[in-house]
Structure 1
Amino acid sequence: GESGTGKELVAKAIHMNSKRKYFPIVTVNCGALAESLLESELFGHEKGAFTGAHYRRKGKFELADGGTIFLDEIGSVSMKMQVELLRVIESKQFMRVGGTETIHSDFRTIAATNESLEDMVKAGRFREDLYYRLNVFSIVIPPLRERREDISVLAHYFLNKFNSAMNKTVSGVSPEAMEFLTTYDWPGNVRELENAIERALVVGKSNTIRVEDLPFHVPAGEPALDSADQSLAAMEKKHIIRVLESHRWNISRSAEALHIDRVTLYNKIEKYGLKKLKIEN
């Protein structure tokens, strides 16, 4: 599945609904570690195995004994490390880096990727034997834009979660905001939705989440912020335009809404070269 779709949550759900739930689930982000570090992270190392190895350390496979090891972004692993993974997954045996003792570990393997491993195999970037060893049972997690019926449920879940974490009492999501949430394409998937709800609770001032509380809302008729210009000044200009338009360019009301005086607002209008749009009959 794509990044942010909740692959790790699915892995944890599988683990918690299995007979291995009383043992740990150990997560390894393969894409975040260099090959030399990944080897030590997975298999552990003995004291003195390399510079800085001041003590013996258990690896993730050893820690996952009796439980589950979750290999996230498995497609980013080098071909050399893929050989090691295949051997360990098949034999459930390995040696720590710098060690001679064979370690036995009983673990379930769950792997996740945001790329097509089948295409990587065809391109020669992923070992075919490891692919078939991992591909016993596949779960495809669709992106959020393909399961829009989940958006409302997830939004309310995150609302309750952050209400509790921030000690807030936001009661719900306005119909307009929910309509926006359900029509937005969510390139960052569930992770982006979670961040959007969290941000809305931080900046919102009413007891419901409104459209203007969402981080990516662009009112109708207003040009979107240039993705190349994400400076504070650009954001301030955009916000001032929105407030001026909402108050029909009434300077007194706009200044009050912005919590600044009229002179400051006039200076900012001049600074950004803002002009009232002419409406033609």
Structure 2
Amino acid sequence: MELATRQLIYVSRHPCAELYNRFHQRGWQVEVAASAREASRAARDRGATGGLLDLSSAFPAHEIAAFEAPLTLPHVGWVATATAGQLGDSGLRRLVRDYCFDYVTVPSSGERIVDSVGHAFGMAVLADPLASQGQMARSEGEMVGSCEPMLQLFRLIRKVALTDAPVFISGESGTGKELTVVAIHERSIRRQAPFVAINCGAIPPHLLQSELFGYERGAFTGANQRKIGRIEAAHGGTLFLDEIGDLALESQASLLRFLQESKVERLGGHGSVDVDVRIISATHVDLQAAMRDGRFRPDLYHRLCVLQLDEPPLRARGKDIELLARHMLERFRKDTSRRVRGFTPDAIAALHNYPWPGNVRELINRVRRALVMSDTRALSAADLELADYVATQPVSLAQAREAAERQAIERALLRHRGRFSEAASELGISRVTLYRLLCAHGMRQDEGAPPELRDLPAGVALQL
């Protein structure tokens, strides 16, 4: 990789102009990030990258803890700079020890820092390509994927983020619907405003009204002070109604009124409050069936479902299954003191054979559990508790072709009730070729063969 293409994520609250210029002179393209969130976003949008984490710029404690996410990305070679006394802090020391290629005590020469970052970048380039397949994947926020259904989802996220229309996200449990909602919010003009999520299925119906709309002091026993509801708290931003399909019918009517008027009335209040929010809802429930059964109001459905996104199940994401498994392995590698290097071949086979009823959430849980319980350097199918889904007998390409050919012939003959001419015509071959194929596959029955083919030897060579 040429120097001109080197990229650096410089994480600092007070970036040094002299150091910035020195990197630029040495052929680096520098992007400054002021927080862990900005660093994560910058790191996920590119391939192998150098990273400089300026711990000496006095990040607050909660920000230090948040740096673990970008520091775990395998394609970034991180170097930390810190003052002499900072590494006495156990939390900082652990981050530097576990995730950084090197650290430099400041004050120090700019050349020393640039050289150290260059070495870290080189190690990131040399990283195991299987362990860093995420570089080749596209991402939206915390979501990673390279299959066509996910690329299509990413395109739709960018489109709907530009509008203020209500969005409805459907998909099975565990597919990552909330990550899609967050990605939409962070790409919208409301990204600096509040993001408020409420699980409609987790709150009892008699409490949902007060949670959504709030209440005034004295509205009921125990209401000792005014409480702002979730809808009002999201003013100017995005309100995420998760598991909207589990919302009770009596609550659906109140929510519909708010969607029509963009006003809320607190319990015990006498006036309405104007609220400007963008509504995004999601559910694993089939709302079409719920409407037919009278469990969900059609008028509410049509208010919520202006733009619809479908979250693909994990089993439909093909090569993304292995990609996500490796991504989770890197993310949760800290759960064990052993240096786990990846997955065994039988684990990869099981990952693809298993139907994943729990989707991405189940994949995360299986990888985390395997990391803790396994005693080996590579996670096996047994570690993932998927030993029953390993293919017992490997199949060669020739065997696969032979099986497919035999099956096609059998089905054609069954459809045409053994009539050679019609079956051969459907298969795009002659009657003679069809009979020779029957001989080759051990399917020949001389008494049912055409007259001109009955005397052909069983071992006749195929002439396709």
**Match for 1:59 among 209, 219, 229?**
229
Deviations, residues 70-97 of structure 1 (Å, cap 9, x unaligned): 1111111122211111111222211111
Which amino acid in 1 is paired with 2:178?
A: E
**Match for 2:260 among 90, 110, 113?**
90
2:233 & 2:387 partners in 1: Cα distance?
45
| Deviation (angstroms), 1:29 | 0.6
Residue 223 of structure 1 corresponds to none
Question: RMSD in angstroms over aligned alpha carbons?
Answer: 1.9
Q: Residues 199 and 215 of structure 1 are in contact (CA less than 8 Å); yes or no, is this contact kept in structure 2?
A: no
**Match for 1:48 among 218, 228, 233?**
218
Residue 178 of structure 2 corresponds to 8
- More strand, by proportion: 2
**Matched residue SS, 1:200:** helix
Matched, 1:157 2:357: no
1:48 & 1:157 partners in 2: Cα distance?
51
> In the superposition, relative to structure 1, how do residues 57 and 211 fare at CA in structure 2: closer, same or farther (>3 Å)?
same
Residue 147 of structure 1 corresponds to 317
**Matched residue SS, 1:138:** strand
1:166 & 1:123 partners in 2: Cα distance?
49
1:197 & 1:77 partners in 2: Cα distance?
33
Deviations, residues 205-251 of structure 1 (Å, cap 9, x unaligned): 2222122211343487xxxxxxxxxxxxxxxxxxxxxxxxxxxxxxx
**Matched residue SS, 2:332:** helix
**Match for 1:101 among 262, 267, 271?**
271
| Deviation (angstroms), 1:148 | 2.5
Deviations, residues 5-57 of structure 1 (Å, cap 9, x unaligned): 11111111111111111112211110111111111111112222222222221
| Deviation (angstroms), 1:149 | 2.1
Deviations, residues 172-197 of structure 1 (Å, cap 9, x unaligned): 22221111111100111111001001
> In the superposition, relative to structure 1, how do residues 48 and 185 fare at CA in structure 2: closer, same or farther (>3 Å)?
same
Matched, 1:78 2:263: no
Q: Residues 213 and 229 of structure 2 are in contact (CA less than 8 Å); yes or no, is this contact kept in structure 1?
A: yes
1:95 & 1:165 partners in 2: Cα distance?
47
Which amino acid in 2 is paired with 1:72?
A: D
**Match for 1:26 among 196, 204, 225?**
196
Segments of 5+ residues of structure 1 without an aligned counterpart are 221-281
Residue 367 of structure 2 corresponds to 197
Residue 228 of structure 1 corresponds to none
Q: Which runs of 4+ in 1 moved over 6 A?
A: none
Deviations, residues 137-170 of structure 1 (Å, cap 9, x unaligned): 1111121112232211211121111114656632
Which amino acid in 2 is paired with 1:193?
A: L
Residue 242 of structure 1 corresponds to none
Q: Residues 92 and 105 of structure 1 are in contact (CA less than 8 Å); yes or no, is this contact kept in structure 2?
A: yes
2:336 & 2:252 partners in 1: Cα distance?
43
1:167 & 1:100 partners in 2: Cα distance?
60
Residue 131 of structure 1 corresponds to 301
Please show how residues 253-264 of structure 1 align to structure 2 within 5 Å: none
1:135 & 1:219 partners in 2: Cα distance?
38
Segments of 5+ residues of structure 2 without an aligned counterpart are 1-170, 391-464
| Deviation (angstroms), 1:105 | 1.6
TM-score by length of 1: 0.74
Which amino acid in 1 is paired with 2:316?
A: E
1:102 & 1:166 partners in 2: Cα distance?
54
Q: Residues 94 and 103 of structure 1 are in contact (CA less than 8 Å); yes or no, is this contact kept in structure 2?
A: yes
> In the superposition, relative to structure 1, how do residues 216 and 176 fare at CA in structure 2: closer, same or farther (>3 Å)?
closer
Which shifted more, 207-216 or 100-109? 207-216
Matched, 1:173 2:343: yes
TM-score by length of 2: 0.46
Q: Larger radius of gyration, structure 1 or 2? A: 2
2:246 & 2:235 partners in 1: Cα distance?
24
**Matched residue SS, 1:110:** strand
**Matched residue SS, 2:308:** coil
1:219 & 1:9 partners in 2: Cα distance?
29
Aligned residues: 221
1:27 & 1:219 partners in 2: Cα distance?
37
